[in-house]
């Protein structure tokens, strides 16, 4: 397998051995907002779509007139196109969401983003008047146990997806012209069964062998009495509207 095939194969496989505490669905408000705002007349853009799970797992192609997913990684778009065969109202493109996209202004009624970096002014430009930007983002302190031992992961696992605080996130959105409708903060723990599961997960989301040659640092991670490794998640679901 070449590198592209390895990445695609890895993303298609499920990683078992991860639980969270408390037992809550951290995506619930984000996904319910996308479904509740859906209309057969509306178009949806999902940025940083990855393997398209936001679209496919929520059946958004059936709820919206048109769904579009973009991601900077060609491998992810290839997976999405494979999944969307036969769908007449879904399309996927390789695109950088931190820069001005090739879409015309006002092309979408709803824009969704689960953890990707983005340009707030570009999100505002892409929306129709009255359109919604629905965002699930990490905040300061997310992944802190792992990042403290692997500082170079800060930009990969948390930093580049994070505005630091809810205030800084909302300020960036307001400066772009948005009105904040909702900010819902959630803090919980991921529990990894062992070091191997933790390694598999972070390699999956970072696309790099982040622990290679430095596995000894993992030995310092705190473990519960049952041996599981807790990692803090600190997330915020934001709903913003274009006036």
Tell me the Cα Rg of the chain: 18
What average pLDDT does this structure show over 228-240? 95
Query: Does position 10 have pLDDT exceeding 80, yes or no?
Result: no
| Cβ-contact 50, 23 below 8 angstroms | no
Number of domains composing the chain:
1
Residue 64: the pLDDT is: 98
Residues in the chain: 243
Query: Does position 12 have pLDDT exceeding 80, yes or no?
Result: no
Query: Does position 31 have pLDDT exceeding 90, yes or no?
Result: yes
What average pLDDT does this structure show over 31-55? 95
Residue 160: the pLDDT is: 47
Residue 18: the pLDDT is: 92
Residue 159: the pLDDT is: 41
Residue 161: the pLDDT is: 45
- Residue 24, domain CATH: 3.40.50.150
Residue 158: the pLDDT is: 43
Q: What average pLDDT does the structure give for the chain? A: 89
For 2-12, b where at least 16 C-beta lie within 10 A, e where not — what string? eeeeebbeebe
Residue 8: the pLDDT is: 67
User: Which residue range forms the structural domain that includes residue 178?
Assistant: 3-242
Query: Does position 111 have pLDDT exceeding 70, yes or no?
Result: yes
Note the pLDDT tens digit of each residue in 87-100. 999 999 999 988 88
Q: Which residue has the higher pLDDT, 209 or 153?
A: 209
Query: Does position 193 have pLDDT exceeding 80, yes or no?
Result: yes
What is the chain written as a DSSP string? --HHHHHHHHHHSPPPSEEEES---TTHHHHHHHHHT--TT-EEEEET-TTTHHHHHTTHHHHSSEEEEEES-HHHHHHHHHHTTT-SSEEEEE--TTS--SSPTT-EEEEEEES----HHHHHHHEEEEEEEEEEEE-TTTTHHHHHH-GGGIIIIIGGGB-SSHHHHHHHHHHHTEEEEEEEEEEEEEEESSHHHHHHHHHHHHSS-TTTT-GGGGGGS---TTS-EEEEEEEEEEEEEE-
Query: Does position 132 have pLDDT exceeding 90, yes or no?
Result: yes
Does the predicted TM-score (pTM) go above 0.85?
A: yes
């Amino acid at each position: 397998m070449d590198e592209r095939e390895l990445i695609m194969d890895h993303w298609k496989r499920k990683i078992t051995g991860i639980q969270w505490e408390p037992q809550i669905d951290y995506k619930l408000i984000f996904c319910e907002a996308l479904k509740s705002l859906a209309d057969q007349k509306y178009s949806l853009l999902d940025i940083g779509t990855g393997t398209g799970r936001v679209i496919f797992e929520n059946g958004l192609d059936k709820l919206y007139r048109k769904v579009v997913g973009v991601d900077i990684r060609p491998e992810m778009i290839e997976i999405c196109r494979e999944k969307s065969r036969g769908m007449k109202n879904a399309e996927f493109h390789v695109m950088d969401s931190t820069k001005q996209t090739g879409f015309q202004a006002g092309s979408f009624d709803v824009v969704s983003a689960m953890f990707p970096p983005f340009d707030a002014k570009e999100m505002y430009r892409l929306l129709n008047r009255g359109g919604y930007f629905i965002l699930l983002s990490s905040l300061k302190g997310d992944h802190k146990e792992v990042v403290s031992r692997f500082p170079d992961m800060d930009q990969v696992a948390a930093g580049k997806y994070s505005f630091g605080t809810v205030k800084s996130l909302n300020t960036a959105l307001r400066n772009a012209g948005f009105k904040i409708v909702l900010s819902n903060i959630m803090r919980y723990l991921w529990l990894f069964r062992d070091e191997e599961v933790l390694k598999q997960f972070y390699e999956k989301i970072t696309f790099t062998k982040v622990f290679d040659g430095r596995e000894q640092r993992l030995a310092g991670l705190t473990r519960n009495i049952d041996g599981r490794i807790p990692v803090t998640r600190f997330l915020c679901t934001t709903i913003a509207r274009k006036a």
